[in-house]
Structure 1
């Protein structure tokens, strides 16, 4: 049974990813900072027919926590097939470039950028043991420099000096990582679930968590001919879903 680790999986899109991947027959490690809350979520999922799910404590800003999670996965499965770097924070709004504090920006980057790198680097050893390793970095359309330079883009006026820039950096890291792993069976992509109504944005987005999770899975659970080093967005209205960087 293939295994998947989803960070930030105890609510919203991460939780829906857990449900859908469980139904697809994968063993899901539900990554959560609070193990007690994670176990409560898994219990409820089990009661509703979702199986092969285990809560695993992982704080993406804490290297000891990440290593402990890696050791659990290694002991129980010996490998990891899919890593979905879903954990993220928005930071306090508004985020003007002229006065958003360095402390605020660093806090957002610590989770959205450095946290992804820490988790990915720690789990690469286990991913390399998989026959079809996949890494999906959950990003945002707000990380697209091309779209942010287009006055006709519907989110053009929503600039964020911490959140958006952290996702731009994450996109750049995704490209670099995909290139490094291009001669191995890895598929590494940045995936934007679109503007989705979640706890993250006080349920203001027009998209649903079901659509967001399905989109992420579509571009994660791919065959050997699937793309790597690409940026997909659920807000792009063509069949490719490819977003400009």
Structure 2
């Protein structure tokens, strides 16, 4: 999952260490600016899907830079163990809160917790996601022994040859990756807007680039940010699943090859959501980040980069200086086209 989309300009790489300052905002439903119950004045971040892999490394790196981190995960035991591990490594400013991103009521409970505990939110990183496929792997032989000497592309092809996708997995992929991102964002947006320099990072993929769509109409519609709406993205999700079930992906212009079809669509919808939200909320920095093809559980450690390396790309974009780019797709740390 790692193809560069041509030469692109590099964004500023300096990480902002300054704390947020005042903001005037009168939008209905937005919290009044408050320093909150936390007297430390530290920035507060939520990481969805933070108990392992890239998400866990994002939590580690943010906490090591003085950010108060709320690590969320669907599994309470795994999430609590991840927080305990970070505490033992000398990072006390990490707390756990259970979150199933596909459950809007859970996102609402998280929002209430943040308001009561901190009174503010500065950074939201939507990292939770699934691949929408199942791989049949022979675990009697260590995977790394099988993959030794293979390039990243060869390892990816090895995984693809052993992967299958079902309609049920496609449905779950859209529910978690796209709708989960939307549910969490909608629940936490009022708190995020109450800070002076809020950051929203949607962890995406180069598999979400529009080049994977075969139909020009879909490409054009997803590119037309002036007219694209969240309601239309929701409709597209339903249309994709309908066409998937009816075997009409190719005829209606969706990704239709053998590689992670629902995953590609879910990430394309996330990229569209990023662009819509960035135009609507100009006071926030809202961007999509492809951290690279990283070695994580989701791909049986077949990736090219480490989870730590991928997380560093996400964190560097999240901590770019005030007034930085918004509505951008970052290929690792470089601005790149959405196509």
Using a 3 Å threshold, how does the CA distance of structure 1 residues 61 and 223 change in structure 2: closer, same or farther?
same
CA contact (8 A) 2:133 2:166 kept: no
The answer as to whether partners of 2:271 and 2:338 remain within 8 angstroms in 1 is no
SS at match of 1:219: helix
Work out the number of aligned pairs and report it. Answer: 229
Query: Higher relative contact order at CA 8 Å, sep ≥6: structure 1 or structure 2?
Result: 2
Which ranges of structure 1 fall in alignment gaps of 5 or more residues?
150-156
CA distance in 2, matches of 1:167, 1:132: 25
- In the TM superposition, residue 148 of structure 1 has moved relative to its aligned partner by 6.8
Is 2:318 the counterpart of 1:220?
Answer: yes
- C-alpha distance in structure 2 between counterparts of 1:178 and 1:49, whole Å: 36
Residue of structure 1 in register with 2:292 after alignment: 194
Please list every run of 5 or more consecutive structure 2 residues that lacks an aligned counterpart in the other structure.
1-41, 136-159, 215-256
**Residue 162 (str. 1) matches residue 227 (str. 2):** no
Say whether the 8 Å CA contact 1:142–1:159 is kept in structure 2. Answer: no
TM-score normalized with structure 1 length = 0.88
- Contact 2:132–2:165 (CA under 8 A) maintained in structure 1: no
Following TM superposition, the consecutive aligned residue runs of length 4 or more in structure 1 with deviations greater than 4 angstroms are none
Q: Secondary structure at the match of 2:334?
A: coil
CA drift of 1:224 comes to 2.4
TM-score where L is the length of structure 2: 0.64
Alpha-carbon separation, structure 2, partners of 1:164 and 1:53:
32
The one-character-per-residue Cα deviations of 1:98-141 (angstroms, maximum 9, x if unpaired) are: x9554332210000000100000110110011111000000001
State the partner residue of 1:22.
63
Partner of 2:336: 242
When Rg is computed on C-alpha atoms for both structures, the one with the higher figure is 2
Assess if the C-alpha contact under 8 Å between 1:142 and 1:148 holds in 2: no
Q: Tell me, what secondary structure is at the counterpart of 1:6?
A: strand
TM-aligned CA distance change 1:43 to 1:180, over 3 Å:
same
Q: Write out per-residue CA displacement over residues 150-209 of structure 1, whole angstroms, 9 at most, x where no aligned residue.
A: xxxxxxx77321111110111111111111112xx2000010111000011000001111
2:179 matched to 1:114?
yes
Cα distance in 2 between the residues matched to 1:128 and 1:35: 28
Give the 3-state SS of the residue equivalent to 1:59 in structure 2.
Answer: coil
